[in-house]
Amino acid sequence: MSAEGALLFARYAYPPNELGYCGPADASALLRAGAPDGTGNRASDGIESRAREFEGAWCYLEFLAESAGLADPLDPRVVEAYWIGNDLLERADPGALLDRMRDRFRGQLGGTWRRAGDTARAHHSFQVFDVYPWAGLLGGAGSPTALNVLDQCRIRTGTVVRVQGESAVVRSRPLVWDAERGAMAIGAERRETVRWSTGGRSLIEGVAPGDLVALHWDWVCDVITGDQRAWIETLEERRRSLLAKPMAQA
């Protein structure tokens, strides 16, 4: 198992795990596992076993690794492909992904993924907008509750304005409802307060004003590059565009 990949997984998986939405109990174990080990590095013991209990994410990681001919589902390239995006996504056959998902998500109601065809991607944006039922619950008026869940559950990007202890003020653009189109859109930039650490524990070294960051729920997952921001935003925009037409016709 790659320690680097395991820690990257934990950075993005911790926020929903802390809220009890996915993964095993005791989310703080991810923070403990990712704590500095006294050698200048961060420990990763125990993350793999916990990652396997994220049934949705682990399904995609295994599929991406197999598609790329990699033995480790926690290879950093695989983990990055799922949460952020990279060229491994293009090596994964959409039809084979859907076959895998029909087995994994058998009996799960809702979502549009069964008719995704060749647009299916082993990426978190696909899980959020196509597999989870929330997009279908927006209705013709754009349910505020469903929209808020989708906004927080997606991986979004932002820029740190200032740091306040274990929190940071970040400029980001929320998911909004375009009533004229009857579809989701990205709104104007706003400021939000998010956490990068809790109780003195964090999975990153810290943040500073000007840092470009990836956000999941109310948490800073990592400091990212401009190319990574482009992957996140482009892949999400594709998913929203694919949903816009049928949603507008509903």
pLDDT in tens, 75-100: 999 999 999 999 999 999 999 999 99
Cβ atoms of residues 78 and 68 within 8 Å: yes
Cβ atoms of residues 118 and 95 within 8 Å: yes
pLDDT value, residue 247: 44
pLDDT in tens, 6-52: 999 999 999 999 999 988 888 888 887 666 655 555 556 678 888 99
124, pLDDT greater than 60 = yes
pTM above 0.85, yes or no: yes
Q: Which of 59-63, 200-204, 228-232 has the lowest mean pLDDT?
A: 200-204
What are the backbone dihedrals phi and psi of residue 164, each rounded to the nearest 5 degrees, phi first?
-130, 90
pLDDT value, residue 38: 52
Report the sign of the C-alpha dihedral through residues 217, 134, 55, 80, in that order. negative
pLDDT value, residue 18: 93
Domain locations in the chain? 3-137, 155-249
Mean predicted confidence (pLDDT) in 228-242: 96
Classify domain 155-249 by CATH number.
2.30.30.140
Alpha carbon distance 202, 211 (integer Å): 16
